[in-house]
Structure 1
């Protein structure tokens, strides 16, 4: 089944669009990009940053500059190109994206105020798309399971031929550009439990959109 899954990935990932950018990312990241390209449902919980699939170019530039202030303008723009090519996935009608954001994502400022305003305005607009669900977990909810786990992404895949199903994968990015991929069913189930707990305390989509727009206006003031 693994071989069949790899074949399906190659059909749906534009033959590895990330390969020309191999000098621009860590060794573990191509595996994630293959999974993301094959997934038909992605659920991500983020504590600090807007997820890559929803980052505007200027926000992305600012984030990259935090760790690599001396990166050349050419390499910086190549990384933006890679992000843009990833985001083409968002326009595919069979792709579902669920985003659970800590309010801290809105309050942290990895970019200048004008960039934050534009990023959050775009985030609010994106939340209106039918295949997106963007919800914010506000500070005021108190203790919840999202506080005791790192940011993570659950990737789920469409059926393969003959009704076979590729198991879901949880991606957790660690420190120093490392990553862990969880495939054991019991571990994935624990993350599903966390997603349920986060969903229970998150604002509704409309209330989340209102808070995101409020923060955008504060940055623009």
Structure 2
């Protein structure tokens, strides 16, 4: 009937989609169980990503929920792929990233060249998208920026711990006008004052460092295994195998050892703001 396991990304995606469909009908686990004539334990395990349903029972579940057409085939394929760890998808589909962030208890980010999306101002995000040649259509650009910036709501959650490691180049690489950059630096400085957030700078004078291979974001939760996200221009790669997570934990330990402490990092940012104001 079902293969029980620790939930991976695909299992969570399927579970979330099923819960959405159940919510639309006003059904809870018990009602779904009654209609399927399956145990509530089984329904709960599938919707929490902890069980891989066999194709026959997944088809029954989707049929009872009224799922048809392309969505039916999409979710059946997702159920078939649930054994596969990790995920590669188009960067424009940020639903996976948002879902992982929503469930996270701790988020660690390294960026080498640009301000992380969770810290960006609207002006910075807009200029960055234009300078990178992304989303030339004004309407799509607005949608892109709104979707990206809406993620920042999680910064207000006091129970989530945030760690940002920014290479010094992030602060020095001009994006947009001088006013846009100054506004962005002020935003970074403001967020660094939050009790649940640490922002540390990796100084350029140190040369190579543990994260020289590039940017990444690790999300950890008490409910799920950790996931690392690596975004590029066209795709987002999600890693969750134990050896992959171990490698990025080692990178984070290396950054902890090399980066400036919080106080010196804030001072460096403040000095850059002061220098910009003096010009």
**TM bin (shorter chain):** 0.7 to 0.9
| Corresponding position: 1:154 with 2:233 | no
Per-residue deviation at 1:121?
1.2
Asked if 1:173 is matched to 2:234, the reply is no
2-structure distance, mates of 1:136, 1:120: 13
With normalisation by structure 1, the TM-score equals 0.82
Is the alpha carbon distance of 1:142 and 1:80 closer, same or farther for their aligned partners in structure 2, counting shifts above 3 Å? closer
Aligned length: 201
Distance (Å, rounded) in 2 between the aligned partners of 1:138 and 1:158 = 33
2:260 corresponds in structure 1 to: 203
1:170/1:182 contact within 8 Å kept: yes
Match in the other structure for 1:87: 152
CA drift at 1:97: 1.0
Contact 1:116–1:219, Cα closer than 8 Å, also in 2 = no
Find the aligned partners of 1:28 and 1:88 in 2 and give their Cα distance.
Answer: 19
Structure 1 SS opposite 2:225: coil
Give deviations 1:90-127, integer Å, cap 9, x for gaps: 11121111000000101111221111011001111110
Q: Which has the higher contact order (CA 8 A, sep 6+)?
A: 1
2:122 maps to 1:64: no
Q: Give the superposition deviation at 1:134.
A: 0.2
Partner of 2:177: 112
Partner of 2:99: 34
Change in Cα spacing, 1:52 to 1:133, as seen in structure 2 (3 Å) is same
Q: 1: CA distance between counterparts of 2:206 and 2:267?
A: 17
Q: Post-superposition shift, 1:143?
A: 2.9
The CA deviation string for residues 44-103 of structure 1, in whole angstroms up to 9 with x for no partner, is 010011100110010011011113377233332222322332111111121111000000
TM-score (norm 2): 0.66
Provide the alpha-carbon RMSD of the alignment: 2.5
Of the structure 1 ranges 199-208 and 70-79, higher mean CA displacement relative to structure 2 is found in 70-79
SS at match of 1:74: helix
Q: Give the structure with higher Rg (CA).
A: 2
Q: Partners in 2 of 1:219 and 1:77 — Cα distance?
A: 28
Unaligned runs of at least 5 residues, structure 2: 1-5, 25-89
Q: Distance in 1 between matches of 2:149 and 2:132?
A: 20
CA deviation after TM superposition for structure 1 residue 35, in Å = 1.0
**Match of residue 191 from structure 2:** 126
